[in-house]
Every structure is written in C-alpha cells, then in structure tokens.
Amino acid sequence: MSSRTAKGSMRRQQVLRAAGEILLSEGFRAMTHRRVAEAAGVPLGTTTYYFTDRADLMHATVGLLLEREQVRRAAVTVSGTSPGATARALVELLLPPDAGSARHQGAVIYERLGEALRDDDLRAIVSRDYSDLEAQVSRVLSATALTPDPGLVLALAEGRLLQWLASDRSMSTLVAAVAGDLSTLTPATPAQPRASAGPLRLPTGSPRPEVSSAAGQWSRAVPEG
C-alpha cells in the first residue's frame, strides 16, 4: 500500500470514528456530512469525497459499529447457570456493561431498526448483525442449564429493553426482569408423585351423607357445556 493510499485509508477511518461517536451520542438525525466533518476536524469536502451522500456515510458507520459490537458480544461469558447469571449475560449482549452509555446504545438500536425499515441497504446490514446476535444468544444459553428457544428469549429480552429505555430505572431492574422471564420459560422440576393414602373411609359411627329428596339420586353424568 502506497503512503498516499494509507493516508487516505486513515482519513476515511477518522471520518467514520467521528460519525460513530455522533451516532451513539446524538442519534441518526445528527449525523450529517457537515456535523461529521466538524467532529472529525476535516474539511466538508473530505467527507463527501469518501462518502457520496448521507446514506453512504450512514451505512459505513453502522457497519463499522456493528463489527465492533460483534467482537464485544463474542467476549461475553456467563458466570453461572442460574436465570440471574444468564440474564446478566443476555443484557450484556444487547448493551455495553457501562451504564453511562447503555441508554444511548439502546436508543440507537431502535433508531437503527426504524431507519432500516426505510432503507433496503441498511436493512441488509442490520439483518446480518441480527443473525450474529441470535447465534450469540444460543451460545450463552448452551452454556447454562436453561433450554428455551433462543429466538423467543431474544424477543423477550429486547421487549424488556424497550420498556427499560422508556423508564428511569437502573440496569439491575432490567436484568431482574429478564431473569424472571427466563424462569417462566424454564420447565419446572416435575412434582414427585405422592404415595397413595388408600380409599377415603368415614370414621366408625359417622353419619352417612344423605341425598336431598329435591336433588334425587347422585348423578355421575358430566353436564354438557
């Protein structure tokens, strides 16, 4: 690679890093060529040279962020086999462990999905990342004693995440909610059959039950619904 090519690659990465920071801290609406150029400390013409339009810049930025996310997810481990330990790992798959940036990251997740609904190219990028996320959820579940469907677990965890984003609760409440969902999805230990106590017998001398004359005889028929 020539020095000129290397310099161009570095400049492009500089622009992408600035765009990524803006995306995570301010959202999709703030990511314009002018705003990114200011954050990167480069002329406006530099961003338009490497990225022809806003969509091109957005696709490259989201792709870079998701590549980093996939590396981060692959390093997530489970510290135990309980629903709580599994829930903490699942939440960490969705959000960075730093609570300070977690809400921004969570908001970007849903913004990204909204943008993808209107952009076929972005939808393809997000879809590939979602496949990786499902694979990581399967990996986490396989390391525990829990056996629910990974797709269902991911759907529930993302639903809890959306509820959490709309509140001012701590991340520990999000983990607790996901752990509760996991508990309901895990088959309970089958109850042990009780020893037969034999037929029920009335104590000697107890009066036998009488059938009311108005009711007639006991009926063994099951009433029709």
pLDDT in tens, 179-192: 999 888 865 434 44
Highest mean pLDDT among 61-70, 95-104, 147-156: 61-70
Residue in the block written with tokens 């690659």: 9
Q: Is the pLDDT of residue 209 over 50?
A: no
Assigned token pair, 223: 């009433």
How many Cβ atoms from other residues are within 10 Å of residue 62's Cβ? 25
pTM above 0.85, yes or no: no
Handedness of CA 40, 94, 109, 66 (dihedral sign): positive
- DSSP, res 189: P
Q: Given this model, what pLDDT does residue 99 score?
A: 55
Q: Is the pLDDT of residue 171 over 60?
A: yes
Share of the chain above pLDDT 90, in %: 50
What Cα–Cα distance (Å) separates residue 148 from each residue in 9, 42, 131, 142?
A: 45, 50, 18, 10
Average pLDDT, the chain: 81
**Average pLDDT value for residue range 191-203:** 45
Give the chain's count of helices (H) and strands (E). Answer: 9, 0
Q: Is the pLDDT of residue 102 over 80?
A: no
**pLDDT of 53-84, one tens digit each?**
999 999 999 999 999 999 999 999 998 888 88
